Amino acid sequence: MKHKVIVTGGCGYIGSHTVVELIENNYEVVILDDLSNSSIETIGRIEKITGVKPIFINIDLKEEAKVNAVFKEHKDALAVINFAAYKAVGESVNKPIMYYKNNLYALLNTLSAQLENGINGFIFSSSATVYGTPNKLPITEKNETQRPFSPYGNTKKIAEEILDDFTKATENFTAISLRYFNPIGAHESGLIGELPSGIPNNLMPYITQTAVGIREKLMVYGNDYPTKDGTPIRDYIHVVDLAKAHVLAVERILNKKQEENFEIFNLGTGKGFSVLDVINSFEEVTNSKLNYEITERRPGDVPELYAATDLAKEKLGWSANKTLNEMISSSWEWEQKLRAKLQ
Ligand code: WQD
């Protein structure tokens, strides 16, 4: 019999890639999504890639009674992976209440519905943003967390604190938080990828949209940081590598391999690349010139972030194996297919 996993936000960027990996590893998947920042078309695309159509339920996780009813119907699920959240850093600064409500009500309603229905495993989509400005590199899971710059980031930090309390108070309930560094790239099929609504905040979609002609030029936010070329350094990670880590986290929970009821793992490659490194690699991979200009620093940007990856390797048996060039070429492929389809 297939193990059932509920995936909230399963139509989104990282969610959809994880659903594909789960199906390919023989899990039955139930997607809960309100499509507020994703498209129903993703379901058909997942089916095209895997040959299996996941169960889809359109639901706003802020609606507690509805969440309970759905979890009751799927109480044979063994674990939940929680991707459902708003994630635009800048928007969260302007609309903090909307972010706290959406991201935290969804989490609380999911956890209480799990409790009610005896679904005892939980995987949380967290972020390296909880480390704030790190005082030590590479960042290990033991690095202290700081209040993130944005309300978005703070919802991730608060969510982890809630999970810490909840797993302590709830016997048998186990959770894993996965702290992503900078996810980019797309599935090799070119059928699923990142679909930012409006003007992208993140570097990679901004680059590909500029190259395809939707944006006039990329603004590089500052070249006076204390790094090799003055631009900030990040740990970019292929979304498919990231997705595979979720399957391993589910297995760790189902096989009762956890050493503590609440575990935290960094998901990164351990390698840092500057903004100019990414631009140069993009130009090399696509054999084209990118229109960009150096401008002011963006408030809240940290000079340098990259992960220590040992813990995920040792405990989850996971490490990233896709290169920056593979990340860039798959993002580019996705962008081109997307635009060809929209025209
Ligand atoms: C990377 C670098 C920018 C855009 C954010 C969130 C984090 C996570 C991932 C998402 C920085 C520079 C960017 C542009 C630029 N969450 N840049 N011009 O800020 O590391 O992390 O996204 O859900 O929580 O904080 O990623 O891609 O925005 O920026 O120069 O137009 O690219 O200054 O140095 P960031 P990013």
Q: Give residue-wise pLDDT tens across range 122-138.
A: 999 999 999 999 989 99
Tell me the per-residue pLDDT of 41-81, one tens digit each, with 9 for 90 and over: 999 999 999 999 999 999 999 999 999 999 999 999 999 99
pLDDT higher than threshold 70 for residue 1: yes
Domain of 13 in residue numbering reads as 4-185+237-269
Identified catalytic residue from 27, 86, 99, 152: 152
Q: Determine if the pTM surpasses 0.75.
A: yes
pLDDT higher than threshold 70 for residue 173: yes
User: What per-residue confidence (pLDDT) applies to 343?
Assistant: 52
Residue type at position 285: V
Average pLDDT (183-200) is 94
User: What per-residue confidence (pLDDT) applies to 319?
Assistant: 98
Residue where the block lists tokens 């995987």: 123
Average pLDDT (167-191) is 97
Q: Is the CB of 223 under 6 A from ligand 1?
A: no
Q: How far is the CA of 325 from the centre of ligand 1 (A)?
A: 18
Q: What is the CATH number of the domain that holds 121?
A: 3.40.50.720
| Residue 289 confidence class, pLDDT cut points 50, 70, 90 | very high
Q: How far is the CA of 204 from the centre of ligand 1 (A)?
A: 9
Q: Is residue 152 flagged as an active site residue?
A: yes
Contact 207, 290 (CB under 8 A): yes
Q: Is residue 303 part of a domain?
A: no
Q: How far is the CA of 17 from the centre of ligand 1 (A)?
A: 20
**Mean per-residue pLDDT of the chain:** 97
Q: Is residue 176 part of a domain?
A: yes
Q: Is the CB of 148 under 6 A from ligand 1?
A: no
Q: Is residue 337 part of a domain?
A: no
Show contacts of 273-276: CB within 8 Å, 24+ apart: 273/233, 273/234, 273/235, 273/236, 273/324, 274/227, 274/228, 274/229, 274/231, 274/232, 274/233, 275/203, 275/220, 275/221, 275/231, 275/232, 276/220, 276/223, 276/229, 276/231
pLDDT higher than threshold 90 for residue 339: no
DSSP-based three-state secondary structure for 133:
coil
Helix axes 203-212, 275-286, angle to 10 degrees: 40
Which residue has a Cα nearest atom 21 of ligand 1? Answer: 182
Q: What percentage of the chain carries pLDDT values higher than 70?
A: 99
Q: Is the CB of 273 under 6 A from ligand 1?
A: no
* Number of domains composing the chain: 1
Tell me the per-residue pLDDT of 83-122, one tens digit each, with 9 for 90 and over: 999 999 999 999 999 999 999 999 999 999 999 999 999 9
| Residue 342 confidence class, pLDDT cut points 50, 70, 90 | low
pLDDT higher than threshold 70 for residue 203: yes
Residue type at position 216: E
